[in-house]
Amino acid sequence: MSKNAFPLAVLWDMDGTLVDSEHYWSISQNRLANQYGAIWTDEDEKGVIGSSLYDSSDLIKRKFGIEDKSVQEIIDHLTDEVIEQLRQVLPWRPGALELLLELKQAGIKTALVTMSMRRMALAVAESIPFAAFDVVIAGDDVRYGKPHPEPYLTAAAKLGVAPIDCIAFEDSVTGLNSAAAAGTHAIGVRNLVELPGGSDRKIIDTLVGLSATNLHELRIHE
């Protein structure tokens, strides 16, 4: 395969990569902490960025001492609040929407790969003024969440492409580990947490300036 044929698909994380929604989660988690007389720190928040909602909500249940809600009920509560905030203002990460449009115009396949619930992923996808994604893989679509490779392996399989022919954009260590373990070209876009480099990933400052014609420059694996 020539470099000009790369990538065949681009796989997108959602929170913090496509949309600047991490602070919405923080607001809802702090509200819940206050309700139960608990404290949710910035370090707590950074620690769950990119994680499965099942894992982070289980942590919240234990940390806040919540006895009247199940993990699923905590997930539903947080998801409802974040969706409501996104409906008021949907803040795109710099360069994300522009690159998505270019990819669609160039005929490059795309997938949304998020640990948020499917109904939230669809709420974001359906707010985009064009058919941005060929496939949506959400936290409730997989058995194992990030950092397990299953979410990205599933997305690539549904798109009908090999992981090595895909670029995956992520903003969290957990997400990068998932994308790298799946064998994609894992690209970290700096946002709220420090992203360590490595031979199986590249770290960039922004999506601004990327286009369908220069994405081959992000190639990691030959």
Instruction: Give residue-wise pLDDT tens across range 97-124.
Output: 999 999 999 999 999 999 999 999 999 9
Instruction: Give residue-wise pLDDT tens across range 36-70.
Output: 999 999 888 888 887 788 889 999 999 999 999 99
Are residues 155 and 73 part of one domain? no
Instruction: Name which residue leads in pLDDT, 173 or 48.
Output: 173
Instruction: Name which residue leads in pLDDT, 173 or 221.
Output: 173
pLDDT number for residue 2: 39
Are residues 206 and 107 part of one domain? yes
Domain count, the chain: 2
User: Is the pLDDT assigned to residue 86 strictly greater than 90?
Assistant: no
Are residues 48 and 35 part of one domain? yes
Confidence at 4, pLDDT banded by 50, 70, 90: low
- Do 128 and 97 form a contact (C-beta atoms < 8 A)? yes
What does the block give as tokens for 180?
């790298």
Structural domain containing residue 201: 3-20+92-218
Output the average pLDDT for the chain. Answer: 93
Are residues 114 and 192 part of one domain? yes
CA atoms within 13 A on the CB side of 113: 39
Cα angle for residues 41, 43, 44 (degrees, 5° grid): 65
Residue 147: count other Cβ atoms within 10 Å of its Cβ. 19
- Do 10 and 75 form a contact (C-beta atoms < 8 A)? no
- Do 50 and 148 form a contact (C-beta atoms < 8 A)? no
CATH number of the domain to which 105 belongs:
3.40.50.1000
Name the pairing type of β-strands 135-137 and 201-204.
Answer: unpaired
Are residues 131 and 74 part of one domain? no
SS3 41: coil
For the segment 63-92, the average pLDDT, to the nearest whole number, is: 92
For the segment 176-186, the average pLDDT, to the nearest whole number, is: 98
Are residues 173 and 64 part of one domain? no
Instruction: Tell me the whole-structure pTM to 2 decimals.
Output: 0.86
| Nearest in space to 11 (alpha carbons), one of 92, 98, 109 | 109
pLDDT number for residue 3: 45
- For residue 19, the cross-strand partners are 15, 92
